[in-house]
Structure 1
């Protein structure tokens, strides 16, 4: 049973709160008729009274292109929370203005309209950026004609409300603000929160990869009608039955004063973030950190047979730090767009069935990808009672076969393109990928060769493998030796010579802390500035560094066993994000 009076009362209270907030801020933040901003490096944005938020032009990646947006302005990261023209960036010299006749629009230097509010807005008396980050256009009676909170992009801020059938849309990429492949919606029929993929460039919605039923068990017919992020950072769904469903229930929130935002990220996760409002001892000790996110496993939860999936076609997905999807191309494939790791992969060369009388083995090789499957992608053949060697040979001799999967005694030949690929360590099997021998043999010469001055310098990847064999036969419970392994591996990665014994402990701590700082700041390239091979495989480098940091934990109980190290380096065990190796020491 619905409670219309409750809805009306609550909405009236929310309107009064907003109206009082506007009146309270009017003397300081009014953007009056005739006001404008010009897109340039020296453009000064309009700010909220608190200085926490700014509205204006945000420059994109050093280009002379700008987003009209709202961002956090009181912290080092000027994090965007709303943007007007993600699909049509504004060139330098563009202008946003509140005209004398009461309209609000963004135009190019030539006067072409780039953006204006979706709803028809006439008779604007002034604009204001409120302390909660909401930018509003109002009439002479302070009635809101349009507000950014009711026209969201990928982010919700505290006190922002998402109504029934309202939605958030992800960005295409972290640095590309065009509409992306994921959306969050508050369903109109039952008030459930759903995450879906969409068929770009249309708005057609594919299958759901996450849903949260918000119905009230005491009132089964009750449904959710508003999603709200409150000031404490909790995400709540308000129900007709006057109940509240807390989506973040049970999650520990940081003590102290924090900024919060809930963002549908470019990789498809809906994430609640926190950030300290103030410095501690004159320093920003923490950047944005994850408090809560859904789904738990986007790789496995994306089950539809349409669309790209989390990682795009001809790729496969595994979970990394904070359950983020890591995307890899199949052997013989490369990224369709080198700037988009989630955009799928394309085949480097097509099988040639007209190679004379050569044996398949002379033309092609099979490369294995363990525990990797595409359960929703179509097969063109399903062959029972075959072993791996038989499946391998059948794919080699079949011109149409590029990928076969051997699992549970069956050999499946897969149709291309493949979608929704994922690593599944709970299922025994593997993918067999056919690649040309010429492509395999061409890999080696393309690697940079060491000159005579570097003949004794082993690359970090090879050295890691050598050290692994050295330690492999040690007792699986040995942890003191694990520390030594981590030290040597990290020194080789950083191309450092052996340290003097008398300075060993101090130098090791500094090296570990420096490596951890580079890892946290996503600047691993600083560790291998002279190693081009390592730079060409940053994912492997990251895994090596993460393993070495785990090995060098100051607390011995946190160090893994050598058996676990071997499993992590070989990709059998997922490497989780390591903590600071020496939490009680610091480097300047």
Structure 2
């Protein structure tokens, strides 16, 4: 019912992403150690509500498809129109979180080639970058950037995340010593502890500055969501356009730093 990625090409232990055939009939990708709920889904076959006997099938011709209990084909994930003579196929969730189909010709010079991806957006997989960092596409390849006022814990390991590059002062002097920097169209997991409605961006910033618990604020459409650290599943909204209404162009996340 569930398939996991590996940590990397060379480390085959359990990685950070999973593919689940749910009891509601939907095939969904999630980060590891999350609930099976919509906020944590970064790809699905959109076949929810089709029954508890749906299966993912993989034919020798490279066709990936979903069957229900009556052997009715609900959906073709791949076209299945591939060269089959002298060719083998493989499906897997790669360490970058994408569900892929590969083909391999049996000739001497042939290599594994990608013939299908679950998504073309390399920043879609939630958790590709570590805590307090966000994913951004650079020439189709994903990269990780730290929040303002943060530095990478380990530059050789993007999942290690980022930590503050300064020592936070007492909250009593917070409003005088700190400023807020705005990151347009950037989203994280919604772990808001307070929501202010019908407010402005300036009022949202001030509300965060005078709140000892507030270290970040998401302002969108007149709503201010106060958050604390650490934040996870960060990415630029244009790289996460299929996820939720928070990906609208009016979204902005404001982060606290010296």
For Structure 1 versus Structure 2, the TM-score category normalised by the shorter chain is 0.7 to 0.9
TM-score by length of structure 2 reads: 0.72
| Larger RCO, structure (CA 8 Å, separation 6 or more) | 2
Where does structure 2 lack aligned partners over 5 or more consecutive residues? 239-247
Distance 2:193 2:165 in 1: 22
Which residue of structure 1 lines up, in the alignment, with residue 184 of structure 2? 370
Q: Report the structure number with the largest CA radius of gyration.
A: 1
Pairwise mapping of residues 290-305 of structure 1 onto structure 2 (< 5 A)? 290-295=114-119
Identify, as 1 or 2, the structure richer in helix. 1
Distance 2:17 2:113 in 1: 21
Q: 2:102 aligns with which of 273, 276, 291?
A: 273
Question: 3-state DSSP class of the match of 2:217?
Answer: strand
Which residue of structure 1 lines up, in the alignment, with residue 6 of structure 2? 171
Which residue of structure 1 lines up, in the alignment, with residue 31 of structure 2? 197
Distance 1:334 1:430 in 2: 21
Distance 1:247 1:333 in 2: 44
Shift of 1:235: 1.5
Which residue of structure 2 lines up, in the alignment, with residue 430 of structure 1? 252
Where does structure 1 lack aligned partners over 5 or more consecutive residues? 1-164, 303-308, 437-588
Are the counterparts in 2 of residues 315 and 330 from structure 1 also a CA contact under 8 Å?
yes
Shift of 1:295: 4.5
1:333 paired to 2:162: no
Distance 2:102 2:199 in 1: 50
Distance 2:107 2:150 in 1: 47
Are the counterparts in 1 of residues 219 and 225 from structure 2 also a CA contact under 8 Å?
yes
Are the counterparts in 2 of residues 316 and 329 from structure 1 also a CA contact under 8 Å?
yes
User: What count of residue pairs does the alignment treat as equivalent?
Assistant: 246
Identify, as 1 or 2, the structure richer in strand. 2
Which residue of structure 1 lines up, in the alignment, with residue 241 of structure 2? none
1:242 paired to 2:55: no
Q: 2:231 aligns with which of 418, 431, 438?
A: 418
RMSD after superposition: 3.8
Distance 2:147 2:67 in 1: 45
Shift of 1:264: 0.8
Are the counterparts in 1 of residues 61 and 80 from structure 2 also a CA contact under 8 Å?
no
Distance 2:137 2:80 in 1: 21
TM-score by length of structure 1 reads: 0.36
Pairwise mapping of residues 87-486 of structure 1 onto structure 2 (< 5 A)? 165=1, 167-187=2-22, 189=23, 192-199=26-33, 206-207=36-37, 209=41, 210-212=43-45, 223-225=53-55, 227-245=56-74, 247-250=76-79, 253=82, 257-278=86-107, 284=109, 287-295=111-119, 309-319=127-137, 326-353=143-170, 360=176, 363-374=177-188, 376-380=190-194, 382=196, 384-388=198-202, 390-396=203-209, 398-425=211-238, 426-436=248-258
